[in-house]
Structure formats: C-alpha cells, structure tokens
Structure 1
Amino acid sequence: MHNDRIIAFVMAGGQGARLQPLTTGRSKPSVPFGARYRIVDFVLSNLVNSQISTIYLLVQYKSQALIEHVRKAWTISPLLQSQFVTVVPPQMMTGEHWFQGTADAITQNINLIEEHRPNLVAVFGADHIYRMDIRQMVEFHQQRKADVTIAALPVPLRDAQGFGVIAADSDGRIQAFEEKPDHPTPMPTDPSQAFASMGNYIFNADVLVKALKEAQEAGETDFGQHVLPRLLRTHRLFAYDFATNEVPGILPYENRVYWRDLGTIDAYFEAHQDVLGHEPVFDMFNPDWPIFSSSYQGPVARILGGEIRNSLLAAATMIHEGAKITNSIIRREAVIEEDVVLEDCVIMDYARVCRGARLRKVIVDRHNIIAAGDEIGFDPLKDRQRFHVSEGGVTVIPMGRVNYFARDNRGTGGRGGYSE
C-alpha cells in the first residue's frame, strides 16, 4: 500500500430522518456519540489510522455543525499539503442541483480525482460506529487484482433481508447484488450467513472515473443501484469479508466484528449501551487504534457526591450530592443536581438536570434544562404528549436553546462554555 496514492471521499450528507429529533438541526454524521465523539469521528479515525490522510468530506443537509466540528477537530497537518480533511459542499459543476445520490456526489467532484491522480479511491460512509484497518482491504483489493472491492459484513440469513446482499464465490468475486431479498444467497463458507454491503468501497481510480462519466451520460446517480451493477458485467468486483479484518488493540471480550448502523433512535441508544460495562462490547479505550475527536480544553469532571454505577462522565461535568446515576453517559459540561436519579440515560453537552428529577431510558440533547422534580421515561403516554418516544421506549428531548450552557451559573449569558 505504501506505493499507492489513495484519496478518500466520505459521504457525510445524510439527513438521518429516522434519527429525529436528534437530526432536527444537524446532519446524521454530526450527531454526538458516547462521552466525547461525533459519529463522523469513527470513519475519519479509521482512515487516518490506516495512513489515508487525503480526505474529502462531502456534506449537504444541515451541515454547519459538521463543518464547525471538522474545522476545530480535524486539522491533520498545516505543513504537509497532502494530509487534510476538507469539507466539500455541492459544487454544482455538472448542473444546478445538490448531490442526487452517492455516485453523483463523486461525479460533482471528479476534478479532485483528476487533480490528485491517485491509483485508488476510497468511498466510505459516515454513519456507522466501528473500527477497521482499511489497509487490509486495500491489500485484498490488490491481491485479487480487483477493479472494485466492497466491504461486506457477515449477517445471519434471517437478518439479511433488511440489507443489500452480495452474492460472492469462495474467492470473494461478486456474482450478483440482491437488494433486501426474500431469500438471501448464503456465504460460500457459511450457509447460515450472508454478506451485507457496508457501503464502503475501494475503486481503481481509472475505473471509477470512466464509470462515473458513463453514469452521468445515462442519468444514473447511485453506486448501489446503478454504477456497481453495471460494472459487474464488465469488471472484476470483489467482496472483502469484514470479519477477517484485524485491528490492533482489540481485547478478547470485545465483539471483534463490531459494526453498527445508527439508523434509528433505538439503534443509537443500544450502541451507547455497548460502550458501557467492565468488559464493553466496543471498548472506546484502545491506544493502538484511537478514535480522534476535538481537543476540548475544559477541566476534568467534578464529583461532589452521589452514587455512580457503570457510567461514563465527560470533561467538566458536575455531579452533586445525592445524585444516583446508573448505566448512563454524561457528556461535557452537563450538570446533575442534588437527588437526581438517572437510569439508562444519555445526557448531552451543556444540559442541566435539576434537583429531584427522575429520568429512565431518556436521551437529553444539548443545551437543555430538565425541571426540578420532573419525571420522564416512566409513563410513555404522558411522555409522548411532550417528547418523541421511539418504538423501543426511548424518550428523546430535542436540543434546547443554543445559548444556554449548564455551567454558566453567573446567569449573564456571556460566559458560555469551553469551545469544542
């Protein structure tokens, strides 16, 4: 791989409609995750850890929060010209329209491929939580003399009906694509599972450029629906088995093939539970493969008292006497007042939960104030009158006033919080 010139396009323009109300004022990749990250940090960290550092982030819907995050958190090297993460909105170079699909998004920026003249182009999504050494996928691509390689996740046959399925032979060469099939084709090495497309691709650059120009002439806009099925008839397409990927630092108790699509509120909530516990399914502590994010400069958490079990506390949080916190994640500069009870909750940045409030299975978005004595998560019918409640019973409180900061206790409105 060291002799190859690789550039990456990260598709970060998704609306995330099923993550409402968390995506009311932001795109899906910029939604916070865990105690200090945003969803987009995972794909960017995988690329950088894999020594792919020429990265274009293609944005579209409600992109300002994502643009600000990248500006503050993802300056790789101001000295080395080829190492950067750059945000690219729709350029409208091929017409007066936004990105019409995944392939159209790259087509509108085909000049960037021609400018860099890479051997390979990585096209990855920005909506998932996972670790991946992309160098191993590149090596597989080269060994198979592939024109296109698609990352594939083994899933049980009973679950494969909800995915785009890849039918491949024992060497990984793709034979067919099946979109949410009633009868998925099993993996050749495991009849109980099928290959689900992860939406992550490695292209030979010349093949990609030619395919995009042909797609544009034909009015085609999407990789999965148009470009890849057409290439399958004339080129060598392979499925890379994600289960064979070995990331350094993964511990025995972790799920080594961890990959989560945070497409719904319930999936988002369950993924947060995966990072908790003495032996979490997905351990965020891995110095050998770090997940990078903002260089927040605020102080450490301050715990004045209370009872805290199996929870994560981010920087500058404040926990008061009598609080009881269980199986929860408290993000930066949140304040938990006296006698608050939190169970299975995600409390985001700059939120304050006032004295005596009781919350269970609740996501509180940023800049919120939960009133003293309020009870949320115990009566779904009552909660639905005020908030969004998911099918799985997770109550979501949408973002509050962006000029409210929980630790701005002077009440002047001018102190705010630390910059991310």
Structure 2
Amino acid sequence: MSRSKNILAFVMAGGEGSRLHPLTAERCKPAVPFNGKHRIVDFVLSNLVNSEVYSIYLLVQYKSQSLIEHIRQSWTMTRFIPQHFVTVVPPQMRNGPEWFQGTADSVYQNIHLIESFRPDIVVVFGADHIYRMDVRQMIDFHVANDAQVSVATLPVVLSQCDQFGIVETDEDHRITGFVEKPQATRPMPGSRTHTLASMGNYVFNADVLLAALRSAHETGHSDFGKHILPAMLKTHKLMAYDFHTNTIPGTEPYEESGYWRDVGTLDAYYEAHFDTLGARPKFRMTNRHWPIYASPDQAESAQIENGLINRSIVGSGSIVDNARLDHAMLRRSVLVEPGAEIEHCIVMERSRVGRGARIRRAIVDQDNDIPPGESIGFDLEEDRRRFHVTPSGIVVVPARFFPARKQVVAAPTPSEQAPPVAQIEWLTGEPRLGAMA
C-alpha cells in the first residue's frame, strides 16, 4: 500500500540523557552502548532499514561526537543509490546561536531537507528506545485511514502518565485529545489501570508537516507533543496507531508481545539488558528475520579459558580466565582475571576486572581497570562515597574511573567479518555462539 510513496525519515538523536549520567558524561543518550555490541540508536535505524525506509536524517545535538563516529563506521550506505543514506545533521542555527529548542524546532531548522527531497510522507521517530517495529505497517495504517498525522501508541499504567504524551481516542482510533506529560489522566477505554501513551513516533503527510512547522515557527512553538499535535486536533485528522498490532517475522512465542522499553533512567537501562538474556528472553537480540544491526567488529573472537558462567554474554575480543560470571554482559575486549566474580553486571569496552575482584549489580563504563581484590556492589554506603548509586541499588562506575595499569588486550587482528557475540548458558565446554545480531 505504501510502496508507491516517497518516504523521508527524521530520527531525533539529540537527547542529552541527563538521567543516564554518568553514562552520558561524554556521550549523548542514543550513543550509549547496549547489550554486547550495539548502541541505543541502532534499534530505530534497524527498524527503519528493515522496513525499507532508506532515506534517513539523524538530528544530533548534545555530545554527539561518539554518535557521529558510530554512524560513520556502522551506517554508511552506498553512494551509488542517492536515496539510500543515513546522514548526520547538526543544528543549523537558523535563529542565531541556538541549539534545537524542541522536537518540532529540530525538524524546522532542517525544513530545506524536506523541501528538496519532496517526499509524500515524513516519519519522525525518536532514538531512545529498545524495540522492534515494522514502520511500513504504521505507514499502511496511516494511508488506509486517510490520516494526516498518525501517532504510535501503547498502553501504560496510570501512575506513569507524567512520563509520556497521553492520547485520548474515539472508537475509530481518531485522536480526540493529546496532553504532554500530565500529572493525572483518565484510563483508556476498556481499562481501569492503563492509559494510552504516545511512543514519540509520528507519521506525517509531508505537506501537512511543512505547513505545521512554518505556523509553529511564527508563533514560537517548538515541540510536537506540547504544541503542534494539540493545536492540530480541531483542524486535521490525527490517528492513533496501536503498536501491539505490529507484527515482526521471526518473533518467538516466549518473547514479550509488543516489547518496548524507554531506557531513559539507569534502572530501566540496566533492567532492559537482562530482558535479552537466556534461552527464552523477553526480547531476543538474534532474530535473523529482523536483525538489529551492530557496528562492524574487527576484534578477535571471545576466549573462555575456564570458570563457571551462567546466562551471560561475552563480547568479541574478551577473555574470561577461570572466573565466575552470573547474568553478566561483557562488551568488546574485556578481560576477567582468575578468581574474579561478576554478578548481574554490565561491563563495557576495554575494561579489565582484576584477580579476585567482586562486582555485583553494577554498570562499569568503558576503559576501567578494576584493581585485584576490589569489591563493588556489596557495601552500598561505601559505594556511594565513590560512585553514583541508583535508588534500586545499581552502582555505576564512570568511564576511566580506575586508570589502566597496562594494555588489557592485544591489538585486534582485522577480519573480513565480525565474529558473533557469545551468549552462554551453563558453560561446561566451548561457548555456544549466538547468531549475528
């Protein structure tokens, strides 16, 4: 239905991610690592590309250098097909020395890109969430209902209404009300406990979007959720797309239906990692029919010398030497020395966990050299003196908090194809290698 439409995508990747600090001390939220070898932005980009939406502008802002490098290395599309691109776009400073003032302003500052591309439909998606979505199904819904704007929605508990744009609809899914992050709201039809929330993913008819952006700029309005969408309710047809109707090939019966996580807090980010672990995870990273593409990896394969490993992921180039891992996620080139114990932890690139060190319920950012015998996560009062500790007790060790003693892992040997991440259940011999995510 939508195959004949010319589609342009904008991805909002300028999020500062202040609630993810210290992980966002040197990088923006979409650039924060996730799972064995991904970054958060890879999910929305993979969804668009898998949906055959190939013309993508990525709008960046805060601390964007690591994100720019990631896009350059991982998302370069062929120069021989002009409309196949993922292009990073910084603020254009059209209103003087100002960064993007809101979601709508970020698109308005790049309105010339819409005018020159001349699309039929513009999709505007966020870059902050962990999920799979066939965007074409939402576009087909938009076209079939003769909508001018469509908003992706899903139910959330009433107590979380202040975290989302809340949508009210009639029986035909037409939006009748839109309030951004209210303190209280009514339940959605047919429920006493849930309300309908916007996912921050929008489909616009291009002419409608252009007119709305110009009008909003004249009135000083800068945000889709706060300003533009509520103002359009009486003059345009806005439809609510039910994300739970979206079907993805290759989804297993044991996976959580309509899995979607806003990883905007450290606790949510931490918990989402462990939703991907195990033989029957809530969200399986290795769906061959709908891959979440990762950055190219030139490191060597993971190496397991000995030890006891339960339900863990060991990234490429990592070495586990006679240590114990339980629900651990090691990203690339992590060295775990003999006698070390890592339990319910995320350990990022080029870190070393010293001999006999114990770490529990922690996020260790990249380039840390945990000293031998160090203990993290067992005495939270002591941990709070050195690190950030979330209300639920997750300890966050900033990047390079423990300076390197020496080179952790030998220089990687280039290879033609990136090795897969190893996902390991009860390890008694060689690791079982999962498919390329």
Q: Could you tell me how far 1:405 is from its partner in structure 2?
A: 9.9
The residue type paired with residue 310 of structure 1 is R
The residue type paired with residue 276 of structure 1 is L
Q: Could you tell me how far 1:170 is from its partner in structure 2?
A: 1.5
Question: 2:344 matched to 1:344?
Answer: yes
Give deviations 1:51-95, integer Å, cap 9, x for gaps.
001000000000000000000000122211100100000111343
Contact in 2 for aligned 1:350/1:406 (Cα 8 Å)? no
Q: Could you tell me how far 1:256 is from its partner in structure 2?
A: 1.6
The residue type paired with residue 180 of structure 2 is E
Q: Could you tell me how far 1:181 is from its partner in structure 2?
A: 3.7
Please state whether the residue corresponding to 1:345 is helix, strand or coil: strand
Q: Could you tell me how far 1:193 is from its partner in structure 2?
A: 2.6
Give deviations 1:197-250, integer Å, cap 9, x for gaps.
101000000000000001111011111111111111210001101111111111
Give deviations 1:288-313, integer Å, cap 9, x for gaps.
00000211121210011111001011
**Mapped partners of 1:418, 1:15: distance in 2:** 34
Q: Which residue pairs with 2:139 in the alignment?
A: 138
Q: Could you tell me how far 1:271 is from its partner in structure 2?
A: 0.4
Please state whether the residue corresponding to 2:222 is helix, strand or coil: coil
**How do residues 171-320 of structure 1 correspond to structure 2 at under 5 angstroms?**
171-320=172-321
**Mapped partners of 2:391, 2:382: distance in 1:** 15
**Mapped partners of 2:110, 2:147: distance in 1:** 23
Contact in 2 for aligned 1:405/1:416 (Cα 8 Å)? no
Please state whether the residue corresponding to 1:152 is helix, strand or coil: strand
**Mapped partners of 1:336, 1:127: distance in 2:** 30
**How do residues 21-420 of structure 1 correspond to structure 2 at under 5 angstroms?**
21-321=22-322, 323-400=323-400, 408=408, 415=411
In the superposition, the TM-score normalised over structure 2's length comes to: 0.91
**Mapped partners of 2:394, 2:310: distance in 1:** 20
Q: Could you tell me how far 1:191 is from its partner in structure 2?
A: 4.8
Please state whether the residue corresponding to 1:138 is helix, strand or coil: helix
Contact in 2 for aligned 1:408/1:416 (Cα 8 Å)? no
Contact in 1 for aligned 2:151/2:241 (Cα 8 Å)? yes
Runs (5+) with no aligned partner, structure 1 = none
Q: Could you tell me how far 1:161 is from its partner in structure 2?
A: 4.6
Give deviations 1:127-150, integer Å, cap 9, x for gaps.
000000011100110111111000
Give deviations 1:141-199, integer Å, cap 9, x for gaps.
01111110000011233443542210001111000013344542333354543211101
**Mapped partners of 2:244, 2:70: distance in 1:** 31
**Mapped partners of 1:409, 1:292: distance in 2:** 25
Contact in 1 for aligned 2:36/2:314 (Cα 8 Å)? yes
**Mapped partners of 1:97, 1:157: distance in 2:** 36
Q: Which residue pairs with 2:435 in the alignment?
A: none
Structure 2 CA distance for partners of 1:179 and 1:405, relative to 1, 3 Å? farther
**Mapped partners of 1:336, 1:79: distance in 2:** 44
Runs (5+) with no aligned partner, structure 2 = 419-437
In the superposition, the TM-score normalised over structure 1's length comes to: 0.95
Q: Identity, % of aligned pairs?
A: 51
Aligned length: 415
Please state whether the residue corresponding to 2:306 is helix, strand or coil: coil
Contact in 1 for aligned 2:254/2:280 (Cα 8 Å)? yes
Please state whether the residue corresponding to 2:112 is helix, strand or coil: helix
Please state whether the residue corresponding to 2:177 is helix, strand or coil: strand
